[in-house]
Chains A and B, each alone.
Chain A
Amino acid sequence: MSAVLEVRDLAIALPAGSDRSHAVSRVSFTVTSGEIVCLVGESGSGKSVIAQGIMGLLPKGLPVTAGTILLEGENITHAPPERLRALRAARMSMVFQEPMTALNPVMTCGEQIEEVLREHAALGPAERRAKILAILREVSLPDPERIVAAYPHQLSGGQRQRIMIAMALVLEPALLIADEPTTALDVTTQAQILRLIADLQSRHGTGVLFITHDFGVVAEIAHRVAVLRLGELVELGTKQDVLTRPQHAYTRMLIGSVPSLRPRTRQADANAPVVLSTHGLGKTYRDRSWFGKRRDVRAADDVTLEIRRGQTLGIVGESGSGKSTVARCVVRLIDPTEGDIRLSGQDIARLGAAALRPLRRKVQIVFQDPYRSLNPRRTVEEAVIEGPLNYGVPRREALERARRLMELVRMDPAVLARYPHQFSGGQRQRICIARALAMEPELLIADEAVSALDVSVQAQVLELLEEIRERLSLAMLFITHDLRVAAQICDQVAVMSQGRVVEYGPAASVFGAPRHEYTRALFDAAPGRGFEFAAA
């Protein structure tokens, strides 16, 4: 077992005027052959910068200022560009997060792999083709002959990531750097890709530096773990040690923030009044062009759900399952094509704009992207009081309410005068929650509201939502792709797949004894499901 990669006291500077002087400093770790080292950290921890530093792909503003990087014993810290270019793909390779954008859309997959061979290996056309087909088979792509001629957009996300992996490994490099390679994928695809990476690296003895923010993934794949915080390595050890006996306070806090997959056991009042119910709700998109073929896409189909006061219904599903479509129908941002939506008994599915207006107050929504949910040109105050003013609340009273709400979401009321860009993602989500609550709604919808947040911030926002639901007896509709989050917060869970609800029931029974095949597959794929994390 030799060290494939050795990083010693690495420091990479940030441009002047940034919030700190270095992107990373004093970082040391090694990756030996046949080993997977996970580099874990929240956004801004510098984990991707380290990867770029190793590959010699740092942008000009981020120079390596100290330390050494050894690849198979060779010091490549300040190696000339030509040498680095020769090493890339041949001795060290990289796989990126977003397989759609990481592949060139105007070249076939075969050409893109062939490029690597042309550049780094002296092979004839026939040999190259044989090698390409062999590696495609090795990453378990069906029908390699067809894939060679296919463009990236003709493949699924998982297939594209397999192409990336094939491209990275075709020359059998000693080191593979995988930068969040499964973050953009659905949970079932993620499980397959993780298994593939683990298989290939053990078969070829590749050393893998695996960058991730997800402790579930760490539990699934790591041999050793390095934890980064603001550019510094705070903890380094075996998976077992770090995940179950974390030493540093930050690691403990991070791991404590990972929601458990075990559903909570809160006794929900089965007789609480029903706030919202849908019956046979459906949304079909018609793609009609003048001459083209007519295509119908059923985004949601026969969705029947019910949410009671003071309770949380979670809708869980992968991308394209229709979960957000249901949420947007309920808020009437889009018009459902079938079924009805009863809000406190009244059907709102087909109400016109004027009739709907008085009812809009009762249903409020918090979106996923904290950066686009607030108008950049309006202050927090204007955002929070906009709704109440629309319903005739006097300005003074609306302002008073806004101040109280800021306290409720644990922010200083003094920030009301500021603009959204002065806040972090977590803070913005709190503002969005305050804006929604200013309407005194009966139903709060959170559409992937914590998905874009770091795990520690996510834990805080989840806790806040829970507290608000309890205090205001709100009904909550919680849309998420994250099973852990769903287990943490939901009383009832509906699992959606291809526009339909395939399983629906109390969280304890859905998580405890899933009946539908899809639900079981989904739960099986949840990374780190068998792993017992250290308690906070």
Chain B
Amino acid sequence: MYAFLARRLLATIPVLAIVAVLVFLMLRLTPGDPAAILAGDAANTEQIAQIRAGLGLDRPVPVQFMIWLGNMLSGDLGESFYYKMKVTALIGQRIEPTLSLAALTIAIAVLTAVPLGVLAAWRFGGWFDRALMGFAVMGFSVPVFVLAYILIWIVSLKLGWLPVQGYRRIADGFGPWLQHLILPSITLSVIYIALIARVTRASVLETLGEDYIRTARAKGLREARVLVRHALANAAVPIATIIGIGIALLIGGVVVTESVYAIPGLGRLTVDAVLARDFPTIQGVILLFSLFYVLINLLVDLSYVILDPRIRY
């Protein structure tokens, strides 16, 4: 088990390395001189050259990459052009709302989608199944921000039940925190529910066709036990996989949702940074999100060992 853990950790290194190269190249392919942007409009050529030397931009590209990589590895993500502070500190300020939003969304999504998917598979072709699949297609199709505005309009503006926008830190109390977060989380979870419910249904449907389900029924077991202990338990691996893959989708959703609900998190930071062409911040956020994605998928891989005894590494 520890050997597997070590091997799996090592295997993430090439992926992370490629992410690093891609991000580096992406930002170096930028038309325009970062030094000029950094220096501002009033700077003269000399100042720009100075800044360029300071950034190491006058050296060959591979050397620049090594310097850049060294900085990244030592935890130095550089300084934001726009906020004039360390990117790591900036991220530290903004990470709590994003983590809260993501965690609440995942919790809502998994807790509703998995039971719904199992029920739909059990009643395959029935009204519930068709209704859920109809909802799933809608969930994929309605853009997050349109849904957000519809919900704000109904729940906050017309009914006045919840605040329209903003965020309260969890340190300021659990109640206000939840009040501000519940609508964004529901908004964001819709697409995630659609995705997980669909995959749960498909995988449970597949396992329901397996021989061991026939065996379980031939043993005279109750239908609930057949569904949970035999069908769902065997469908767990694809469900875990889609939860992991969906994290990328979730991050995309966070960017939009935070903008609509004015939540001061990393998603909002990304958009602001892009609008301000604040490259160190953009790169820091992308690296962080990618690392997060890779880590989640590592956890998902580890969960396979628990979910399916046939998988041994």
Of A103, A105, A119, which contacts B308 at CB under 8 A? A105
B212 touches A104 (CB 8 A): yes
Report if A86 contacts B (CB, 8 A). yes
Q: Are B234 and A105 in contact (CB under 8 A)?
A: yes
**In the complex the two chains form, is A102's CB within 8 Å of B309's CB?**
no
Interface-lining segment among A90-98, A221-229, A455-463, A527-535: A90-98
Tell me whether B1 is interfacial, beta carbon within 8 Å.
Answer: no
Given A105-B310, A106-B307, A153-B310, are A57 and B218 also a contact pair (CB < 8 Å)?
yes
Dominant SS among interface residues on chain B: helix
A107 touching B233, Cβ below 8 Å = yes
Nearest residue (CB) in A for B216 is A104
Chain A residue with Cβ nearest B221: A119
Within the complex, the shortest CB–CB distance from B110 to chain A, in Å, comes to: 19
A102 near B215: Cβ-Cβ < 8 Å: yes
* Residue of B whose beta carbon sits closest to that of A99: B211
Contact of A106 among B10, B222, B234 (CB under 8 A): B234
Could you tell me if A115 and B221 are in contact, using CB atoms closer than 8 angstroms? yes
Chain B: minimal CB distance from A489 (Å): 33
Contact A101 B10 (CB under 8 A): no
**Min CB gap A1→B, angstroms:** 26
Report yes or no: B220 in contact with A102, Cβ–Cβ below 8 A. no
Decide if the interface of chain A is mainly helix, strand, loop or mixed.
mixed
Q: Number of B interface residues at 8 Å Cβ cutoff, please give it.
A: 27
**Closest Cβ–Cβ distance, residue A260 to chain B (whole Å):** 34
B229 within 8 A of A: yes
Q: B230 contacts which chain A residues (CB < 8 A)?
A: 104, 107
Q: Is B229 within 8 A of A55, CB to CB?
A: no
A92 to chain B, nearest CB (A): 9
Cβ of B130 under 8 Å from chain A: no
A66 within 8 Å of B (CB atoms): no
With A88-B218, A89-B218 as contacts: A105 and B211 at CB distance below 8 Å: no
Whether B84 is near chain A, meaning CB under 8 Å from some CB there, is no
For chains A and B in complex, what number of residue pairs have CB atoms within 8 angstroms?
Answer: 85
Neighbouring B residues of A84 by C-beta, 8 Å? 220
What residue of chain B has the Cβ atom nearest to residue A97's Cβ?
B211
A94 CB, nearest partner CB in chain B, Å: 4
Task: Determine whether the beta carbon of B211 is less than 8 Å from that of A101.
Answer: yes
Answer yes or no: B123 CB below 8 A from chain A CBs. no
| Residue in B212, B225, B313 whose CB lies within 8 Å of A105 | B212
Q: Mark B203-220, 1 if CB is under 8 A from A, else 0.
A: 000000011101111111
Contact A106 B214 (CB under 8 A): no
Interface string of B298-313 (1 = CB under 8 A from A): 0000000001111001
B220 contacts A86, C-beta separation under 8 Å = yes
The CA of A464 and the CA of B217, in the complex, are separated in Å by 44
Considering only CB atoms, which chain A residue lies closest to B234 in the complex?
Answer: A106
Kindly provide the distance from the CB of B310 to the nearest chain A CB, expressed in whole angstroms.
5
Nearest-CB distance from A82 to chain B (Å)?
Answer: 10
Complex formed: what's the CA distance from A278 to B229 in Å? 52
B7 at the interface (CB under 8 A from A): yes
Q: 19 pairs across A/B with beta carbons < 8 Å?
A: A57-B217, A57-B218, A85-B220, A89-B218, A93-B218, A96-B214, A96-B215, A102-B212, A104-B215, A104-B216, A105-B234, A106-B236, A106-B310, A115-B219, A119-B221, A120-B220, A291-B7, A292-B7, A292-B313
10 closest cross-chain pairs (CB), A and B: A88-B220, A101-B211, A104-B212, A102-B211, A94-B218, A85-B220, A89-B220, A151-B309, A291-B7, A89-B219
| Other contacts beyond A96-B215, A153-B310, A291-B7: 20, CB < 8 A | A55-B218, A57-B214, A85-B220, A85-B221, A88-B219, A89-B218, A89-B219, A89-B220, A94-B215, A102-B215, A103-B212, A103-B215, A104-B215, A105-B308, A105-B310, A115-B216, A115-B229, A119-B220, A120-B220, A290-B11
B residues contacting A by CB (< 8 A) are: 3, 7, 10-11, 210-212, 214-222, 225, 229-230, 233-234, 236, 307-310, 313
